[in-house]
Amino acid sequence: MLHYQAPQGCADGAIMRARLVARSPTVDATTRRIDISIELIDEDYVGTLRLDEDPRAYREIRGARCQDVVDALALIAALALDLEMLDAPDEPPPASAMRPAATVAGGVQSGPPRAARWRAQATAAGQVAGGVSPGAMYALAIGARLERVGVARVALTAWLGRDNTSSNMGEVSFRWTAARAGLCLNPTIEDLGLEVCADLEAGVRSVAAPDAVRSAPARRLWLAAGAHAGFEWPESSRSFGQLQVGLATALVRDRFYLTPNETLHATPPIIPWLLLGAGIRFP
C-alpha cells in the first residue's frame, strides 16, 4: 500500500507507483505500508522512505532534481520488498541497505553524494530560418551549454547554412555563418526540461553569383538580437532530444542586388527560426 506526497513539479502518485512496479513485481501484492514523501528545502529536494512505519526501515535522499530523488526512492523501496529485509523484526536491516542518509561526526555532516548542481551539454541539430535569404536557409548547428540544474544556463550555438536561388542572371548562392549566445531560464516539469532564452547573434552572410556578368562575391555582417523557447526530453536521461523556436531582430539590414538593379533579397526586420536536434549531458 503506497502513501506518497510530493511538491508540484515532481512525479505524481501514479508515476511513482509505475516506477515501483517497473522495478519490483511484488509491489502490487505486498501488504506492507510504503510511505514516501518529498519536500523542497532551500534548493534541494529531500525525500524520505518508511516501510510498515518501522523506524529502522527509514531512508532519506537529498538531491538538486526531484526526478533523481524519485528514482532513488523507488529503487530502494523495490529492493527492500524483493529481498524481504524487514521480515525479521528482531534483526536490524543491513547497514548498507537501510540507514539514515546523514550522520554527524565531529560537527561535519556526511551522507550520500549530492546530485550534481552544475552540468554541461553538447548538442547537434538542424536549423531552418526564414528571411536570411530569399528562400528557407537550412543550417547545421552545434552547441555547448553550461547550466545550473533546474535554474538557469548559458548557451552557445554555432551554425553554417546555405541557400541557393535562381535569378535572371543565373544561380545565386547565399551562405550564413554565425553564432548565437543565450542566457536562459530552464525550469523542469516532470521529465520535461523547458527553456526561455534571451539571444544575441553575430556572424557573416556571403552571396555569390558566378554566372552573372560583372558580379563579385559580397560579404555582410550579420548582427541580431532575439529570444527563443524550447524543451528537452527526457530530462532524466544522459541523452535527449531538443526543439527550439525563436525570433530574431536583424540589427544590420542589408539589400543584396545584381547590376544594374536586380534585387535578390532585402533583410526583413524579423527573422523566425526553428531548431531540432539531440544532445548529451556531462555528467
pLDDT in tens, 43-61: 788 998 887 766 666 788 8
Question: What mean pLDDT, rounded, does the chain reach?
Answer: 82
Task: Please answer whether residues 271 and 226 qualify as being in contact, where contact means their C-beta atoms are separated by less than 8 angstroms.
Answer: yes
Parallel, antiparallel or unpaired: strands 2-5 and 34-41: parallel
pLDDT category of residue 90 using cuts at 50, 70 and 90: very low
Q: What is the DSSP letter of 213?
A: T
Q: What 3-state class would DSSP assign to 69?
A: helix
* CA–CA gap between residue 81 and residue 27 (Å, rounded): 7
Identity at 270, one-letter amino acid code = I
214: nearest Cα among 178, 261, 254? 261
Q: What 3-state class would DSSP assign to 261?
A: coil
pLDDT single digits (tens) 183-197: 999 988 888 999 999
| Contacts for 278 with CB less than 8 Å, ≥ 6 apart | 123, 124, 125, 239, 240, 241, 242
Cα dihedral: 173, 179, 185, 190 (round 10)? 60
Provide mean pLDDT across the span 145-174.
90
**What confidence score (pLDDT) does residue 215 get?**
64
**What confidence score (pLDDT) does residue 73 get?**
85
When computed from its CA atoms, the radius of gyration of the chain, rounded to whole angstroms, is 27
pTM above 0.75, yes or no: no
Task: Please answer whether residues 182 and 199 qualify as being in contact, where contact means their C-beta atoms are separated by less than 8 angstroms.
Answer: yes
pLDDT single digits (tens) 106-135: 444 444 445 457 889 999 999 999 999 999
| E strands present in 68-191 | 103-105, 108-110, 118-129, 137-148, 152-167, 170-185, 188-189
168: nearest Cα among 70, 253, 257? 257
Q: What 3-state class would DSSP assign to 15?
A: helix
178: nearest Cα among 156, 197, 160? 160
Q: What is the DSSP letter of 224?
A: E
The top-scoring range by mean pLDDT among 13-22, 102-111, 169-178 is 169-178
